[in-house]
């Protein structure tokens, strides 16, 4: 199974996302979506599992949960925006949700792919919407096969100096 990982769109769905996510089976959105219509646009690519972030309004908070714990291809996933922890870090997220084997989060807009306790995969795809902190817009791709650790990569959507 191939997952498209996205966060912090803030209402902007860049055209590059359609190309990068062309072959994904499912999309995970880690919050700060911006509008329900953006989720509908993503649904045109693949089924979407989304959570709300701290900037999402009541319309989204009523439509999607604050966090999702789900079993995907034999792995226990957590999808959360991360604002609940102030500045989220892999260690803080793992301490709060110790049963998750794969943690997907957003909030910081900083792309991150790492492991915690040598087995927990933690990914922040970075901000896919308007640029912040002089970081390129980015998303992630994760491939899952039962019995094999997740394989993942971060995919820049823009160059460092581009909007």
What domains lie within the chain, and their CATH numbers? 2-156 (3.60.21.10)
pLDDT in tens, 130-155: 877 778 899 999 999 988 899 999 99
Residue 60's SS3 state is helix
Question: What gap in Å lies between CA 90 and CA 105, rounded to an integer?
Answer: 9
Two structure tokens written together for 124: 């922040």
- pTM, rounded to two decimals: 0.95
Structure confidence by residue, pLDDT tens digits, 62-88:
999 999 999 999 999 999 999 999 999
What is the distance between the alpha carbons of residues 32 and 29, in angstroms, rounded to a whole number? 9
| Antiparallel, parallel or unpaired: β 138-145 and 148-156 | antiparallel
């Amino acid at each position: 199974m191939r997952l498209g990982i996205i966060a912090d769109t803030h209402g902007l769905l860049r055209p590059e996302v359609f190309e990068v996510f062309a072959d994904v089976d499912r999309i995970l959105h880690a919050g700060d979506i911006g509008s329900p219509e953006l989720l509908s646009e993503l649904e045109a690519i693949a089924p979407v599992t989304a959570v709300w972030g701290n900037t999402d309004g009541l319309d989204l908070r009523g439509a999607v949960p604050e966090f999702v714990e789900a079993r995907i291809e034999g792995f226990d996933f957590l999808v959360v925006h991360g604002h609940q922890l102030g500045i989220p870090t892999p260690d803080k997220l793992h301490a709060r949700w110790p049963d998750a084997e794969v943690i997907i989060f957003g909030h910081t807009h900083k792309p991150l792919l790492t492991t915690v306790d040598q087995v927990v995969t933690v990914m922040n795809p970075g901000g896919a919407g308007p640029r912040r902190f002089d970081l390129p817009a980015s998303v992630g791709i994760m491939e899952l096969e039962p019995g094999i650790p997740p394989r993942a990569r971060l995919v820049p959507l823009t160059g460092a100096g581009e909007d």
